[in-house]
């Protein structure tokens, strides 16, 4: 298939590369062209304008920073008008469900299909093709996109437009809150005199075990906060969750607390680190010295 990829950040590069390696014809665009140029060695055609990248595409993939950025590219930037009839837009960006529903309605008025398909698994999942993809939209559009989803990982159709974004918010609430629980628990043990690595080993396999404990907990033990999934992105997801909760009249006090913790960490200079760097914010609050010196 002819596929346009709009937004070549870390994830856009990895997914674009996988599409090229799977034999698809890929057209790529990024606001900063240098990032898109990384896909040229894999056979992608690089475009200076997003409208040129999508003109012949059967499927357009968006991997943009947030809802306003998607709106800017699709509608202000005239990409929607440049699409051929019956093209399919798959928005992998993490945005608010209400934004996804609005984009779907506006594209539908132009005869364009839409799926909101946020992902979980980060850059490691993108590299290995093991992403979990949560998809909202019409079943027929989902069926049409399944071959593309299989290149990236496992996709689940969870409901109508916006439902994929709701599922991603649920995912990010669980991830962000659990990272905080793991960090706080391990720091309690360290301050009390136990060895963090041994505590993690001891509770592995019990009810407290999780992928968060194994992956992010290990990063905390090793003080490795290289940005696999940035603090700033996790915070943005929690903000989107709270905005959606307010919209539908849902009280989310636990998410509110963690949104503030991540926000404080960003204000203290941790925004570009991995989301597991919430550990650093909590260590600082508890007077545990030396953690920031390792950053």
CA distance 139 to 153: 18
Phi, psi of 78 (to 5 degrees): 70, 15
Domain with CATH 3.40.50.720 in the chain: 2-159
pLDDT reported for residue 292: 64
pLDDT reported for residue 290: 67
Region 147-156 average pLDDT? 97
CA distance 86 to 110: 9
Examine the pLDDT at 294 and tell me if it is beyond 60: no
Q: Give the model confidence (pLDDT) of 160-206 as tens digits.
A: 999 999 999 999 999 999 999 999 999 999 999 999 999 999 999 99
Region 141-162 average pLDDT? 97
Residue 28: name the closest of 130, 138, 42 by CA: 42
Q: Reduced to 3 states, what is the DSSP secondary structure of residue 120?
A: strand
Domain with CATH 1.10.1040.10 in the chain: 166-294
pLDDT reported for residue 262: 98
- State if pTM tops 0.85: yes
Region 97-110 average pLDDT? 96
Task: Find the catalytic residue in 2, 168, 191, 260.
Answer: 168
> What rounded mean pLDDT belongs to the chain?
95
Specify the CATH number of the domain 2-159.
3.40.50.720
Q: Give the model confidence (pLDDT) of 230-276 as tens digits.
A: 999 899 889 999 999 999 999 999 999 999 999 999 999 999 999 99
Q: Looking at domain 166-294, does it have CATH number 3.30.70.3270?
A: no
Instruction: Count other Cβ atoms within 10 Å, centred on residue 253.
Output: 7
Catalytic residue flag (residue 168): yes
CA distance 45 to 188: 52
Q: How confident is the model at residue 122 (pLDDT cuts 50, 70, 90)?
A: confident
């Amino acid at each position: 298939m002819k596929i346009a990829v709009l937004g070549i950040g870390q994830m856009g590069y990895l997914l674009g590369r996988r599409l090229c390696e799977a034999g698809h014809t890929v057209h790529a665009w990024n606001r900063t062209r240098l990032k898109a140029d990384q896909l040229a060695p894999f056979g992608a055609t690089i475009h200076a304008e997003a409208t040129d990248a999508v003109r012949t595409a059967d499927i357009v993939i968006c991997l943009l920073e947030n809802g306003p950025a998607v709106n800017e590219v699709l509608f202000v930037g005239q990409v929607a008008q440049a699409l051929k009839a019956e093209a399919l837009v798959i928005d992998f960006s993490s945005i608010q469900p209400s934004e996804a529903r609005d984009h779907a309605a506006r594209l539908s008025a132009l005869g364009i299909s839409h799926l909101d398909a946020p992902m979980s698994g980060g850059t490691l999942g993108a590299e290995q093709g093991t992403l979990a993809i949560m998809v909202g939209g019409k079943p027929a559009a989902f069926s049409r996109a399944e071959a593309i989803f299989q290149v990236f990982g496992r996709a689940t159709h969870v409901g109508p437009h916006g439902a994929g974004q709701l599922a991603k918010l649920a995912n990010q609430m669980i991830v962000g809150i659990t990272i905080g629980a793991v960090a706080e628990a391990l720091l309690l043990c360290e301050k009390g005199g136990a060895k963090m690595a041994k505590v993690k080993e001891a509770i592995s396999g019990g009810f407290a075990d999780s992928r968060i404990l194994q992956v992010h907990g290990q990063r905390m033990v090793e003080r490795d906060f290289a940005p696999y999934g940035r603090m700033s992105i996790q915070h943005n997801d929690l903000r989107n969750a709270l905005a959606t909760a307010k919209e539908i009249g849902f009280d989310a006090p636990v998410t509110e607390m963690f949104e503030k913790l991540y926000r404080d960490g960003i204000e203290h200079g941790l925004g570009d680190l991995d989301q597991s760097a919430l550990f650093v914010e909590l260590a600082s609050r508890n007077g545990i010295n030396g953690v920031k010196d390792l950053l």
